[in-house]
C-alpha cells in the first residue's frame, strides 16, 4: 500500500490519479497515524516552503514521518516541494528549517542567462545516473516537467542522482537509502514520468 501524505497543499490528486492509473494500491493519509497502515510513502507538494513545513509540523506529520521514513525505513518519494522540504534549510521568503533528511539548502535559481525566466516552467532534459533503479527504462536526457523558482543545493554530491541545465546545473533528483525525491513532476511528465512512478511502486531498497 502506498500512502500519499495529505497536509493540505499541492498536487495530491494528480499524484493519486497517476498511481491509480498504474494499478497501485494507493491511499491518501490525512492523519499521521494513517502512515502505520502503508508500506511506502509519497510526499507531494506545490507552494511555499514555509507553508509546507508549517503544515507538516502543525498537523503532527513531522514526527510521524521521521518514525516511518528514518526509523522504519519505508520507501519514500518526495515530489517538487515534497523534495525541498527534506532539506536542512530553505531560504525561500526568509530562513526556515526543513526535515533535515538531506544535507542541503533550498536556494533560488540564478541562471547565468538573463533571458531564462524564473520560475522555470516547462520541459527540461534530465541527466541521471544510470544505476538508479527508479530511472530504469527511462532514456537518458528525457524531457520531464518542472515548475519551480528554488532548488535543492546539496552539500554532498553523492546524494544527487539527476540534474538538468538552466543557465546553471540544477538538482533534479536526490536519493539516500530508502528515500528518492524529484524536483520534476513525474505525475505530469507523461510516459517517462509514469515509468518512474512504476519503478517506485516496484522499488525494494
**Catalytic position from the list 148, 187, 192, 198:** 187
Please give the pLDDT value at position 45. Answer: 84
Please give the pLDDT value at position 47. Answer: 84
Please give the pLDDT value at position 77. Answer: 98
Each residue of 112-134: b (16+ CB within 10 Å) or e?
eeeeeeeebeeebebebeeebeb
- Residue 110 is a catalytic residue: no
Q: Domains in the chain, start-ordered, CATH in brackets?
A: 2-202 (3.40.50.880)
Q: What's the pLDDT tens digit per position in 128-163?
A: 998 899 999 999 999 999 999 999 999 999 999 999
Can you list the residues of the chain whose pLDDT is less than 70? none
For cell 541521471, the residue is 128
- Residue 185 is a catalytic residue: yes
Residue 156 CB: number of other CB atoms within 10 A? 11
**Catalytic position from the list 80, 148, 192, 198:** 80
Please give the pLDDT value at position 148. Answer: 96
**Catalytic position from the list 68, 148, 185, 192:** 185
Please give the pLDDT value at position 159. Answer: 97
Amino acid at each position: 500500500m502506498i500512502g500519499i501524505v495529505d497536509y493540505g497543499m499541492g498536487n495530491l490528486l494528480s499524484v493519486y490519479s497517476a498511481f491509480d492509473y498504474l494499478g497501485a494500491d494507493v491511499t491518501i493519509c490525512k492523519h499521521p497515524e494513517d502512515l502505520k497502515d502503508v508500506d511506502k510513502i509519497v510526499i507531494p507538494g506545490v507552494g511555499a516552503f514555509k507553508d509546507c513545513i508549517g503544515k507538516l509540523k502543525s498537523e503532527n506529520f513531522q514526527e510521524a514521518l521521521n518514525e516511518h521514513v528514518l526509523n522504519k525505513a519505508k520507501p519514500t518519494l518526495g515530489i517538487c516541494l515534497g523534495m525541498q522540504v527534506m532539506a536542512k534549510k530553505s531560504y525561500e521568503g526568509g530562513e526556515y528549517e526543513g526535515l533535515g533528511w538531506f544535507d542541503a539548502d533550498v536556494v533560488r535559481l540564478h541562471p547565468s542567462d538573463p533571458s531564462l525566466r524564473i520560475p522555470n516552467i516547462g520541459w527540461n532534459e534530465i541527466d541521471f545516473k544510470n544505476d538508479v533503479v527508479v530511472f530504469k527504462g527511462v532514456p537518458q536526457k528525457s524531457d520531464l516537467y518542472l515548475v519551480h523558482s528554488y532548488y535543492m543545493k546539496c552539500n554532498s554530491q553523492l546524494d544527487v542522482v539527476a540534474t538538468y541545465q538552466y543557465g546553471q546545473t540544477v538538482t533534479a533528483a536526490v536519493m539516500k537509502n530508502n528515500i528518492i525525491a524529484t524536483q520534476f513532476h513525474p505525475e505530469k511528465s507523461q510516459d517517462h514520468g509514469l515509468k518512474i512512478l512504476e519503478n517506485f511502486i516496484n522499488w525494494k531498497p
